[in-house]
Amino acid sequence: MSKLFTFEKPLGMRDTLPFLYNVKKRVRQAMAQELEQWGYEFIETPTLEYYETVGTASAIADHQLFKLLDQQGHTLVLRPDMTAPIARLAASRLYQHGNPLRLAYHANVFRAQQREGGRPAEFEQIGVECIGDGTVTADAEVIRLMIAALENVGLERFAVAVGHIGYVNALFVDVLGNEERANVLRRFLYEKNYVGYRHHVKSLPLSSIDQQRLLKLLELRGGTEALARARELVQTEEGKKAVEELEELWHALKLFGVTETIKIDLPLVSHMSYYTGILFEVYADGVGFPLGNGGRYDELLEKFSCKAPATGFGIRLDRLIEALPEAAADNEIECIVFSQERFAEAIQLAEEQRKKGKKVVLQHIAGIGDIDAYSKRYNITYLLGRAGKEN
């Protein structure tokens, strides 16, 4: 490796300068306020977790994990998401009496990037986990809450695509007979390769009716009419149950008044094995990547020896900020530049102004390198020379 420049940071790591810091703070607060108003309680978990437990349970692929060793030789990971640590915490301590638990978080997560090394490898996520409630109303609540939180931040044009992995699995197993073949097709959907999916379906020794059923899955996009078409493609109990859940979800979201933003998207497979039911992704105008995603993960808590259904969402703060209209710099800072003889007066003035809620810097004139450059940065009040004289 070539010699590092002194200003260099590890690949994908970024500094947050004051302007961005303020924007992030404002967006985080607006999101958090909404989450709290729905009764979700914020928690923090450690940055480091054991690879064997949280690392392997996480939805994030192994090659994206930052790993290190502790002094005892255990492999640790920098948390790649917040869902797995929260599942660990809920399973071991908080989830009791089978009653639902509503938790929220905002935290930096770490994911090593494979290509274009400058993409963020550490970024902040904000989201919720609703643990212990297996009803569709819980799915509807987290989707509604995600929309409410995004609206509270001021996001205008966005859409939520909603799928159901149980539906996809039921259709595949019904037509193809076994899980292994279903897995091949599921991978095509996960890779968003619809051309490959169609080629593969056409190469399978199936009746033309069954081929059509598999091909029609790709067209199950839209509103309630897509659900009606979805119902026609499945015959098994599992398949029908999945459609019923989606209908129930649609009904609940209608009561919440947010179906405008929702797009049914049954071929949506956002992970190969993690989600177990309803799942979703959220997109906004002006950003090429999803802002966040979520869904039902009823099998995760089992990995921490506690069986419980769960659902939640996570939003990437960096992408959300990119989607928002550019924020004006609203960070006015006052500055009192004083000379030694008026120090006491400066202290008093600063305290008065701070009490009024202003941000005030107290700066000795002798500490300033270039007063012209300095005065471009702050609104300066000068307390110089003999006391009693302005400026």
For the bound state, the minimum distance from the C-beta of residue 382 to other proteins, rounded and expressed in Å, comes to 49
221 binds other proteins (CB under 8 A): yes
Of 42 and 123, nearer to other proteins (C-beta) is 123
Site string for other proteins, 179-198 (x = CB under 8 A): -------------xxxxx-x
Of 218 and 368, nearer to other proteins (C-beta) is 218
User: Do the annotations mark residue 194 as ligand-binding?
Assistant: no
Of 274 and 338, nearer to other proteins (C-beta) is 274
Q: How far is CA 236 from CA 119, 168, 214, 215, 388, in A?
A: 44, 12, 15, 18, 89
Both structure tokens of 291: 């802002």
Site string for other proteins, 104-143 (x = CB under 8 A): ----------------------------------------
223 and 264 in contact (C-beta within 8 Å)? yes
220 and 266 in contact (C-beta within 8 Å)? yes
Q: Which helix (H) or strand (E) holds 337?
A: strand 334-338
Whole-angstrom distance, CA of residue 343 vs CA of residue 49? 50
Beta bridge partners of 159: 283
For the bound state, the minimum distance from the C-beta of residue 125 to other proteins, rounded and expressed in Å, comes to 18
Q: Which span (97-105, 120-128, 135-143, 157-165) binds other proteins, by CB under 8 A?
A: 157-165
Of 106 and 319, nearer to other proteins (C-beta) is 319
Of 76 and 291, nearer to other proteins (C-beta) is 291
User: Do the annotations mark residue 354 as ligand-binding?
Assistant: no
User: Do the annotations mark residue 13 as ligand-binding?
Assistant: no
CA angle 245, 251, 255 (to 5 degrees): 140
State which of positions 244-303 bind other proteins (CB under 8 A). 263, 265, 281, 283-285, 287-290
State which of positions 346-385 bind other proteins (CB under 8 A). none
Write out the E strands in 287-352.
292-296, 310-316, 334-338
Beta bridge partners of 48: 78
User: Do the annotations mark residue 197 as ligand-binding?
Assistant: no
User: Do the annotations mark residue 372 as ligand-binding?
Assistant: no
247 and 229 in contact (C-beta within 8 Å)? no
For the bound state, the minimum distance from the C-beta of residue 135 to other proteins, rounded and expressed in Å, comes to 27
For 304, what's the count of Cα atoms within 13 Å in the CB-facing half-sphere?
25
Whole-angstrom distance, CA of residue 251 vs CA of residue 183? 31
One-letter amino acid of 38: W
User: Do the annotations mark residue 135 as ligand-binding?
Assistant: no
Beta bridge partners of 104: 42, 128
With CB under 8 A as the rule, give the number of residues binding other proteins: 22
- Would you list which residues are annotated within the binding site? 81-83, 111, 125, 129, 274-275
* Residue ranges binding other proteins (CB under 8 A): 157, 159, 161, 192-196, 198-199, 221-222, 263, 265, 281, 283-285, 287-290
